[in-house]
């Protein structure tokens, strides 16, 4: 069984693509609706929440877990893989939606870090990334792209409260105007540079794809993260068949939430395309962070996420 985890509803867009691509696979989806949004939390809070939710899925029989939340991937995935997983679940694997997107953008496999002097020269391109504030501040997208493809320039745009608006099912016209405002801000940053590729760097945003397309230049290529992740997982299971279900005739999916199941059901069908039966996980108190060094806050915590090359 494969576990799929997200802070809320956004991961359902990824799950839908996974179910379509793997029709005989069993899935367990866990939405942390009771503690969303993650994009406004500290890095340590995001790590602790992600660690506990991944642990929950593993304890329920998921030997492979997909983190379908870009914020959790950018902030917590690497630490989880390097520190927690080897000690607590060494036979399991935790993957994210972030890596397949970087591979698709750069044309390089994840383990390739660095640009060879013999790499073919390619014309420069500009990539626009729309994401949560925390994902933008992590600098993960531009840093990982720069490691593998120097011809790609990344411009980031944080979209405060857009994921929450989607979660809450706000009026579609309000969300259309919010998307248009964020697109205008990004285009202003780009100046005269042509935007070649757009990445919706939050799994909540595909439901607003039509609004993004309407607000961006018509020749802009918009990459679908759910489809890219599904294709990458099919390839991964081909290399690691031990994580794939066999003998099941049809795909089955169970749904868990840390929030109110009734409220979650009312919104979830818009993401998955079907009515879903969520069950509540009881006893989920706010996790207490492990002791960490106290780091003074940055002088300016309100940046919109200009192009950056900070390490992830």
Check if 202 is active-site.
yes
Query: Residue 111 has which token pair?
Result: 């383990």
Q: Single out the catalytic residue among 69, 73, 159, 183.
A: 69
Inter-helix orientation angle 11-21/261-272, to 10°: 60
**70 among the known binding-site residues?**
yes
Question: Any binding-site annotation on 31?
Answer: no
Instruction: Give the alpha-carbon dihedral of 226, 4, 129, 143, to 10 degrees.
Output: -120
The answer on whether 203 is annotated among ligand-binding residues is yes
257 is in an annotated binding site: no
Whether 69 sits among the annotated catalytic residues: the reply is yes
Q: Do the Cβ atoms of 256 and 30 come closer than 8 Å?
A: yes
Catalytic residue among 62, 73, 159, 202: 202
Do the annotations mark residue 47 as ligand-binding?
no
Q: Is 246 annotated as ligand-binding? A: no
Binding residues for substrate: 6-7, 38-39, 70-71, 203-204
Active-site residue set = 69, 202
Binding residues: 6-7, 38-39, 70-71, 203-204
């Amino acid at each position: 069984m494969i576990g799929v985890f997200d802070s809320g509803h956004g991961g359902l867009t990824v799950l839908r693509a996974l179910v379509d691509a793997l029709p005989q696979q069993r899935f367990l989806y866990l939405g942390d609706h009771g503690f969303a949004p993650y994009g406004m939390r500290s890095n340590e809070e995001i790590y602790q929440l992600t660690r506990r939710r991944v642990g929950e899925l593993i304890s329920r029989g998921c030997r492979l877990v997909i983190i379908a939340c870009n914020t959790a991937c950018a902030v917590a995935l690497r630490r989880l893989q390097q520190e927690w997983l080897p000690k607590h679940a060494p036979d399991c694997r935790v993957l994210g939606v972030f890596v397949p997107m970087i591979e698709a953008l750069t044309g390089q496999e994840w383990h390739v870090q660095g640009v060879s002097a013999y790499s073919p020269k390619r014309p420069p391109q500009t990539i626009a990334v729309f994401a949560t504030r925390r994902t933008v501040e992590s600098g993960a997208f531009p840093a990982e792209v720069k490691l593998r493809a120097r011809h790609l320039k990344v411009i980031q745009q944080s979209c405060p409260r857009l994921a929450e608006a989607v979660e809450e099912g706000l009026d579609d016209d309000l969300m259309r105007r919010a998307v248009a405002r964020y697109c205008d801000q990004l285009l202003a940053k780009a100046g005269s540079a042509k935007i070649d590729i757009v990445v919706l760097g939050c799994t909540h945003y595909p439901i607003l794809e039509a609004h993004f397309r309407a607000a961006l230049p018509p020749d802009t290529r918009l990459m679908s993260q759910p489809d890219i992740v599904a294709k990458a997982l099919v390839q991964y299971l081909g290399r690691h068949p031990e994580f794939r279900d066999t003998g099941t005739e049809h795909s089955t999916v169970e749904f868990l939430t840390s929030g109110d199941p009734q409220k979650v059901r009312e919104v979830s069908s818009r993401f998955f395309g079907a009515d879903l039966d969520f069950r509540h996980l009881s006893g989920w108190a706010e996790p207490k962070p492990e002791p960490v060094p106290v780091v003074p806050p940055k002088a300016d915590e309100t940046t919109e996420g200009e192009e950056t090359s900070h390490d992830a």
